[in-house]
Amino acid sequence: EIVLTQSPGTLSLSPGERATLSCRASQSVSSSYLAWYQQKPGQALRLLIYGASSRATGIPDRFSGSGSGTDFTLTISRLEPEDFAVYYCQQYGSSPYTFGQGTKLEIK
Amino acid sequence: EVQMLESGGGLVQPGGSQRLSCTVSGFTFSSYTMSWVRQAPGKGLEWVSSISGSGGSTSYADSVKGRFTISRDNSKNTLYLQMNSLRAEDTAVYHCAKKSCNNCHGYFDSWGQGTLVTVSS
């Protein structure tokens, strides 16, 4: 099973700042089958990024994904108030599909 | 617009059973693999089970294998999860999730809000 480790656990930033979230895999993620999701209280999870770097439909271009192999990054270029949430990475290249433990992005 | 609504959660005693449902609309249900993903209170996400579009192929996490059964009724656009021999550690919000494709390596492109299952005496 591929273990995904996200860092930091909590990130405190202000609106307008740049956020960099990390996701490290215990072994290489095949074909960059890596996705990022956003979770807000009381709402359904929202797909942000798939294939490590492709933005999902309707996702603003301030969200970008990068990386390959075992190291992946989600970057939010300029934080908006609605971006403060919990973010999860997930690998879907090998079974069982696994998720990182999440990074909470909070307002400083 | 894709809509997914889970139901069937509630309080159940250890060793008991519960059946969850997820009714969907906005896409051709039978063309996609569907999954259940759970989230224990204050914890992260755990994939539970998946079923192919036809229902002919299923897979389970080791933690639920032999106790949970996933199924679907394509005529009713509904996904199910039958949970037996429930344990305290099964307490979680159970989300249904649509995979981006059928019988392939796909991400989850739509999610329901989830239904809470609490296993306690």
Which tens digit of pLDDT belongs to each residue from B48-86?
999 999 999 999 999 999 999 999 999 999 999 999 999
Option in B44, B62, B113 nearest A88 (CB) = B44
Determine the pLDDT at residue B96. 98
Cβ contact, residue pair A96, B106, below 8 Å: no
Starting at the earlier edge strand, list the strands of the sheet with A4-7: A4-7, A19-25, A71-76, A63-68
Q: Which residue carries 């798939």 as its tokens?
A: A50
Q: A78: distance to nearest CA of chain B, Å?
A: 24
**Which 3 state secondary structure label does DSSP give A83?**
helix
Residues 6+ apart with CB under 8 A from A94: A2, A29, A30
Using the beta-carbon criterion (under 8 Å), do B111 and A44 form an inter-chain contact? yes
DSSP run (H or E) holding A102? none
Instruction: Please report which helix (H) or strand (E) contains residue A63, including its range.
Output: strand A63-68
Least Cα separation, residue A55 to chain B (angstroms): 11
> Which chain A residues have a beta carbon less than 8 Å from that of B36?
none
Task: Reduce the DSSP state of residue B60 to 3 states and report it.
Answer: strand
> pLDDT tens across B14-59, in order?
999 999 999 999 999 999 999 999 999 999 999 999 999 999 999 9
Strand, coil or helix: A42: coil
Of B97, B105, B112, the CB nearest to A33: B105
> What's the one-letter identity of residue A37?
Y
Confidence grade of residue A87 (pLDDT, cut at 50, 70, 90): very high
- Cβ atoms A102, A86 nearer than 8 A: yes
Tracing tokens 């202000």 back to the chain, one arrives at A14
On the question of pLDDT at A106 being above 90, the answer is yes
Closest by CA to A25, choosing from A96, A100, A75, is: A100
pLDDT at B97 over 90: yes
Contact residues on chain B for A31, CB-CB shorter than 8 A? 105
- Specify the higher pLDDT residue, A31 or B2: B2
List pLDDT tens digits, range A17-72. Answer: 999 999 999 999 988 899 999 999 989 999 999 999 999 999 999 999 999 999 99
Residue to substitute from A4, A31, A45, interface B, most B β-carbons within 10 A: A45
Strand A103-107 and strand A10-13: pairing? parallel
Comparing CA positions, the residue from A36, A35, A7 lying closest to residue A22 is A7
